[in-house]
């Protein structure tokens, strides 16, 4: 029913648009230049007056309506029910709502509850009826007001402009607020976790086995939330990834920007960028099904002891995933080195590779380092490949042939499966998320700062 | 169509024609008055040529930027290339050290020799050529390195200094020759990009002479500089001409008149007129040249 209301509003606004436009045209005496704004602005002006206030009311009701109704229904409950503790009341309310929606067969329900559900339904009907009336009245009233105020001197264009600005502002505010909200919720949940487990245990403890902490009597007792193995595992895998991605990415960027013929470049660059478009789960497959067995077999052949899920496999594949990232960032900074530097070097009789080694790379180095830091933060945050290929055992090791686990993998495993939501085990995921967030944010800030600094150098 | 003995059919000439311009009395107006006559007027040859260019054409894709130009570059003198914007001065200059090779889509035909050696020969080492024909650009382009390293760069890649001490001496010599030594001798470790525009340009000149070139090409070397810095560079050119062949592109006719001994006037890719600087500025033989130097267009 409510969707119809929105449709009706849209329809009214459209009508408002045409009416407003027509009225302005009628006032123009056939010469649009007699008007302050183009006729369509008067149309938009009317449409906005017609639609916006009504829409705001509608949104307000959507946000607060059910809270209000619930409050009224609870107030009508028998006193012995109202005096129950808040959690029980919440439970009652959700039962009532289920009754209203018909999720529970009403015959089996207790008569008080049924009465409350009926009450709820009645209030809802009243509320909706009132909403219809009010919204339509507002729409028509607003539209009529706008229609009457249309005059050749009315600055409809500026008014529309202002509304658009507010609209854009609200949109960006929503984006920012959601981000802040997410960060804060992670922060608060982490703080809850740190009430249960001391932060020093978490950051410096050497043992990670959150499964044992499922039982309440063990919480925090064994130091099983020491995240150091996760940090080292993450670093190990990211390091392997960078060892793969940085040379290949950088060298291919150098080839593409300094040596490759224009036509080759126009083909090769998009292909390289396709690598970036492959879903990470596919890389994960590739790591588990192709690379890991390959490494294991090679290791056996060499007489090495290789775990079936090794840091090496995950790191190698992650490195491949990051190549286009490194190469396109390096390509950007290499291209930002002014042609005049190359000319200066060539004019002295330097070869290409001398020019690259002695002029371009030193000049582009800060930018390249920035790019590498960005790639590194990407590697740290990468989840899918490591979930599939790196394993779950939190070994504290620097041996790339062993299985290790990472922060992201542990977040996934902590949150999948059945457990109480506020057990330390689940809350640990938030603490890990917070660490991840802080680390990648810091890396990104440093990297962007370095890159920007570098750009300024030539502007 | 006016075809006096002093004009050359540039498409077919043999490079040795040309006589009798002294006969022409001064201030009698140009001898070639047809604007559409694009054959080179004046003597394209010099007695002691360092570089010889014959029938040079340059194309940027479809754009025919230099049209069958022939000219000699004299040793131990400054040759200036003048002409309106876009007439191909820079393009022609870049032919002389094959910097055009670095521009995608640029094609050069014809013959250019340095000491009778064809620089477009397949077997010629372009890297060596560029060491012999140095270049200074319009905008000073020191490397983002120290002053010392800027000069040491060329000697380093060509192995011109056996050890640190020699390198130091070489750097000092170049800076002295470029007239920059007194100003920077106490801060050789500072960034070359921190110098003033005029100092940067002299640094670039010092850098160019650090590899012992025989020819120095300068593409509007003063257009980004103030008058005082310009005067310094002009002085410098005058000193350098004792040891090098210098070719300079300039927008300023006064500058061409001050620093050069020979002047070549380009117009839309054609070499219109070439001759002694004094003659070009006092007694141009082609109507287009006259219009340009009297400021009627350009
Ligand atoms: N890198 C280039 N790519 C394509 N066309 C060019 C390039 N450089 C110059 N040209 C063209 O060649 C002609 C001559 O240019 P240029 O030699 O720069 O003239 P000038 O230095 O006399 O002002 C112009 O028409 C210009 O558009
Ligand atoms: Mg130019």
Q: Please give chain B's pLDDT, 298 residues, in tens.
A: 444 444 444 444 444 444 444 444 455 677 888 888 888 999 999 998 999 999 999 999 999 999 999 999 999 999 999 999 999 999 999 999 999 988 888 999 999 999 999 999 989 999 999 999 999 999 999 999 999 999 999 999 999 989 999 999 999 999 998 889 999 999 999 999 999 999 999 999 999 999 999 999 999 999 888 898 899 899 989 999 999 999 999 988 999 999 999 999 999 999 999 999 999 999 999 999 999 998 876 5
Of the two residues A459 and A379, the one the predictor is more confident about is: A379
pLDDT band at A44 (very low <50, low <70, confident <90, very high): very high
Instruction: Tell me which chain B residues have a C-beta less than 8 angstroms from the C-beta of A363.
Output: 143-144
Domain encompassing residue B260: 37-293
Last residue of a domain, one of A102, A133, A154: A154
Q: How many Å lie between the alpha carbon of A408 and the closest alpha carbon of chain B?
A: 41
Same domain, A320 and A444: yes
User: ipTM, 2 decimals?
Assistant: 0.86
Give A150's contacts (C-beta < 8 A, 6+ positions apart). A20, A23, A24, A27, A42, A45, A46, A156
Say how far apart CA A454 and CA B100 lie, in whole Å: 29
Q: How high is the pLDDT of residue B33? A: 84
pLDDT band at A108 (very low <50, low <70, confident <90, very high): low
- Which of B80, B91, B106, when mutated, tests ligand 1's pocket best, judged by the most ligand atoms within 8 Å of its CB? B91
CATH code of B136's domain: 3.40.50.300
What residues have a C-beta under 5 A from ligand 2, the ion? B 90
Q: Do B153 and A358 touch (CB under 8 A)?
A: yes
- How many Å lie between the centroid of ligand 1 and the Cα of residue B69? 15
Residue A173 lies in a domain: no
Last residue of a domain, one of A99, A119, A154: A154
- Which of B64, B84, B90, when mutated, tests ligand 1's pocket best, judged by the most ligand atoms within 8 Å of its CB? B90
Say how far apart CA A316 and CA A300 lie, in whole Å: 18
User: What domain count does chain B have?
Assistant: 1
Residue B1 lies in a domain: no
Residue A387 lies in a domain: yes
pLDDT band at A455 (very low <50, low <70, confident <90, very high): low
Q: List the residue whose alpha carbon is closest to atom 3 of ligand 1.
A: B60
For residue A174, the surrounding DSSP H or E stretch is: helix A156-196
Last residue of a domain, one of A138, A154, A170: A154
Q: How high is the pLDDT of residue B47? A: 93
Q: What's the rounded mean pLDDT across residues A179-204?
A: 90
Q: What's the rounded mean pLDDT across residues A239-257?
A: 93
Residue A171 lies in a domain: no
Q: How high is the pLDDT of residue B95? A: 94
Q: How high is the pLDDT of residue B143? A: 93
Residue A335 lies in a domain: yes
Same domain, A150 and A233: no
Mutant choice from B100, B127, B212 vs A, greatest count of A C-beta within 10 A? B127
Residue B13 lies in a domain: no
Residue B15 lies in a domain: no
Same domain, A232 and A353: yes
CATH code of A420's domain: 1.10.3720.10
Residue A185 lies in a domain: no
Residue B298 lies in a domain: no
Residue A59 lies in a domain: yes
User: What domain count does chain A have?
Assistant: 2
Same domain, A269 and A124: no
Mutant choice from B90, B153, B194 vs A, greatest count of A C-beta within 10 A? B153
Domain encompassing residue A60: 2-154
Residue A194 lies in a domain: no
Residue B228 lies in a domain: yes
Give B183's contacts (C-beta < 8 A, 6+ positions apart). B199
Q: How high is the pLDDT of residue A211? A: 67
Residue B160 lies in a domain: yes
Residue A209 lies in a domain: no
Q: Are A65 and A42 in contact (CB under 8 A)?
A: no
Q: What's the rounded mean pLDDT across residues A157-185?
A: 94
Residue B152 lies in a domain: yes
Q: How high is the pLDDT of residue B36? A: 87
Q: What's the rounded mean pLDDT across residues A378-388?
A: 88
The SS3 call for residue A272 is: helix
Say how far apart CA A350 and CA B158 lie, in whole Å: 8
pLDDT digits (tens, 9 = 90+) for A291-312: 988 988 888 888 888 877 888 9
């Amino acid at each position: 029913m409510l969707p119809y209301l929105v449709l009706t509003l849209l329809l009214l606004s459209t009508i408002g648009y045409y009416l407003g436009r027509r009225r302005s045209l009628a006032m123009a005496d056939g010469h649009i230049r007699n008007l302050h704004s183009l006729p369509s602005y008067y149309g938009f002006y009317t449409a906005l007056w017609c639609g916006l206030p009504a829409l705001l009311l509608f949104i307000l009701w959507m946000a607060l309506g059910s809270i209000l109704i619930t409050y009224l229904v609870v107030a009508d409950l028998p006193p012995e029910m109202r005096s129950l503790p808040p959690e029980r009341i919440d439970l009652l309310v959700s039962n009532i709502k289920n009754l209203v929606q018909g999720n529970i067969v009403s015959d089996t329900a207790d008569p008080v509850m049924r009465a409350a559900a009926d009450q709820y339904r009645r209030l809802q009907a009243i509320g909706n009826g009132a909403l219809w009336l009010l919204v339509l009245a507002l729409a028509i009233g607003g539209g009529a007001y706008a229609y009457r105020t249309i005059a050749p001197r009315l600055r409809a264009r500026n008014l529309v402009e202002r509304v658009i600005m507010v609209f854009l502002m609200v949109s960006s505010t929503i984006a920012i607020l959601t981000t802040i909200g997410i960060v804060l919720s992670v922060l608060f949940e982490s703080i809850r976790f740190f009430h249960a487990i001391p932060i020093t245990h978490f950051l410096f403890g050497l043992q990670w086995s959150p499964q044992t902490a499922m039982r309440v009597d063990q919480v925090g007792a064994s130091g099983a939330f020491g995240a150091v193995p996760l940090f080292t595992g993450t670093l190990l895998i990211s390091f392997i990834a960078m060892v793969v991605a940085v040379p290949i990415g950088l060298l291919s960027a150098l080839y593409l920007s300094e040596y490759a013929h224009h036509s080759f470049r126009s083909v090769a660059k998009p292909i390289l960028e396709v690598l970036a478009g492959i879903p990470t789960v596919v890389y994960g497959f590739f790591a588990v099904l192709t690379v890991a067995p390959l490494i294991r077999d090679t290791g056996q052949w060499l007489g090495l002891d290789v775990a079936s899920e090794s840091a090496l496999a995950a790191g190698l594949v992650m490195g491949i995933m990051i190549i286009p990232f490194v190469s396109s960032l390096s390509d950007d900074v290499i291209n930002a080195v002014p042609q005049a530097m190359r000319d200066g070097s060539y004019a002295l009789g330097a070869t290409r590779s001398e020019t690259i080694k002695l002029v371009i790379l030193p000049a582009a180095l800060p930018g390249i380092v920035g790019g590498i830091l960005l790639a590194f933060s990407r590697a740290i945050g990468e989840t899918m490949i490591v979930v599939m290929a790196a394993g779950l055992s939190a070994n504290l090791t620097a041996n790339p042939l062993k299985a290790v686990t990472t922060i992201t993998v542990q977040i996934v495993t902590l949150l999948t499966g059945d457990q109480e939501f506020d057990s330390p085990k689940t809350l640990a995921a938030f603490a890990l998320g917070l660490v991840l967030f802080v680390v990648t944010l810091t890396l990104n800030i440093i990297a962007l700062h370095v890159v920007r600094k570098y750009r300024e150098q030539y502007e | 169509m006016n075809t006096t003995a002093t004009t050359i059919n540039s498409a077919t000439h043999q490079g040795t024609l040309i006589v009798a311009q002294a006969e022409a009395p001064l201030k009698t107006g140009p001898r070639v008055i047809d604007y559409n006559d694009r054959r080179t007027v004046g003597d394209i040859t010099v007695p002691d040529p360092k570089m010889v260019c014959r029938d040079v054409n340059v194309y940027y894709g479809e754009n025919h930027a230099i049209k069958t130009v022939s000219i000699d570059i004299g040793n131990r003198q400054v040759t200036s290339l003048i002409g309106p914007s876009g007439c191909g001065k820079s393009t022609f200059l870049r032919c002389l050290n094959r910097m055009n090779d670095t521009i995608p889509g640029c094609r050069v035909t014809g013959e250019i020799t340095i000491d009778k050696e064809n620089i477009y020969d397949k077997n010629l080492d372009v890297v060596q050529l560029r060491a012999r024909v140095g270049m200074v650009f319009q905008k000073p382009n020191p490397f983002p390195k120290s002053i010392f390293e800027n000069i040491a760069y060329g000697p380093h890649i060509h192995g011109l200094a056996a050890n640190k001490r020699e390198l130091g001496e070489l750097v000092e010599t170049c800076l002295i020759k470029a007239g920059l030594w007194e100003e920077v001798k106490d801060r050789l470790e500072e960034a070359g990009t921190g110098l003033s525009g005029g100092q940067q340009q002299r640094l670039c000149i010092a850098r160019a002479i650090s590899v012992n070139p025989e020819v120095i090409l300068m593409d509007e070397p003063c257009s980004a500089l103030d008058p005082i810095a310009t005067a310094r560079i002009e002085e410098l050119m005058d000193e350098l001409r004792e040891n090098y062949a210098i070719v300079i592109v300039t927008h300023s006719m006064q500058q061409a008149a001050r620093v050069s001994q020979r002047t070549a006037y380009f117009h839309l890719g054609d070499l219109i007129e070439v001759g002694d600087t004094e003659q070009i500025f006092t007694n141009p033989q082609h109507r287009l040249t006259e219009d340009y130097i009297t400021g009627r267009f350009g």
